[in-house]
Amino acid sequence: MTKQPRVGVVGAGSLGFHHIRILRDLRGLQFSGFFETSEARRKEVEKELRARSHASLEDLLEACDAVVIVVPTSAHFSVASAAIERGKHVFIEKPITTTLEEADALLELARRNGVMVQIGHIERFNRAVRAALPHVKRPRFIDSERLAPFSPRGSDVAVVLDLMIHDIDLLLTLVGSEARDIAAVGVPVLTPMLDIANARVTFMSGAVANITSSRISREKKRKIRIFQEREYMSLDLAAGTGEYYRLKHDFDPTKLRSAPADIAAFVDREKLHAPDGEPLKLELESFVAALNGQSPIVVTGEEGRLALGVALRIVKEIEMTLPSLVGHAQHNA
């Protein structure tokens, strides 16, 4: 692309609002405005952010080279395919689509039209994750917990596709291996969809992960613990902080058999550090850099499809145990 790309946003809900806020002032692009189906919301955001809005999706696409899609998951395929068919590059908030068939069709459409697809797995840009990645080498066990109070946003899909998919993408990134075996449980509580779920995933590398996600919690919690040989990392994704523990080089395990010992006596502990930065801004900057040919796409459409595949396998495992409650859900693994 020889000139700054024109980028717009589809969807101005609670998350779309922040995409608009950031893109409006981001360098390296021309912000083309946004489209929102709710006229009242469109006018509200237009006034608050002093951002240009468009009366239709077609009008926005006409004014763009690329679009950021922040609509309900059920509409990802229709909006993204409309943009891709017009030769527009797309950034799609997670998950890429609701089914693998839609994801495959979308990626094939993108290949035919020669456009880029980036998926919004924002935790890749979390400061704690960025700080931990240089220390990650052959994880053996990972424990992940993501709890959140209920919100209507995202409740059109199971919590696995709404929240857990963040951690699924992180696990695939940290382990660097495909999922082999999956065992999962979960239940609907406030919606017809799964509202709380737990999965145990065994990877081809032999690593095992335990993942819990809930959208019916009274507290917010986003933590992940990574265990590997002689090392352990504890990350607080909500705070963007982390700690790294490793056995001292002169550690003698036989000493533990004789008497209790303070862990500080045989473990070195250090805080993990990475440059500060708003994850959403970093994510959008990466998309713009890819559009400008300055760097590769951080989270490709194929990676988004891989995370979706694991998520749908987890949903399918749960549906097999609760057919009367959630077997009607249209999830295809």
The two structure tokens encoding residue 221:
């919690």
Each residue's pLDDT tens digit in the chain (333 positions)? 558 999 999 999 999 999 999 999 999 999 999 999 999 999 999 999 999 999 999 999 999 999 999 999 999 999 999 999 999 999 999 999 999 999 999 999 999 999 999 999 999 999 999 999 999 999 999 999 999 998 877 677 889 999 999 999 999 999 999 999 999 999 999 888 899 999 999 999 999 999 999 999 999 999 999 999 989 999 999 999 999 999 887 777 666 666 666 667 778 899 999 999 999 999 999 999 999 999 999 999 999 999 999 999 999 999 888 765 544 444 444
The two structure tokens encoding residue 74:
């059920």
Q: What is the rounded (10 degree) CA torsion for 308, 311, 313, 315?
A: -130
Name the strand (E) or helix (H) holding 76. helix 76-85
What DSSP letter does each residue of 297-328 carry, written as one string? Answer: -SSBHHHHHHHHHHHHHHHHHHHHH-HHHHTT
What separation in angstroms does the CA of 46 have from each of 53, 54, 66, 92?
6, 10, 20, 22
pTM of the model: 0.91
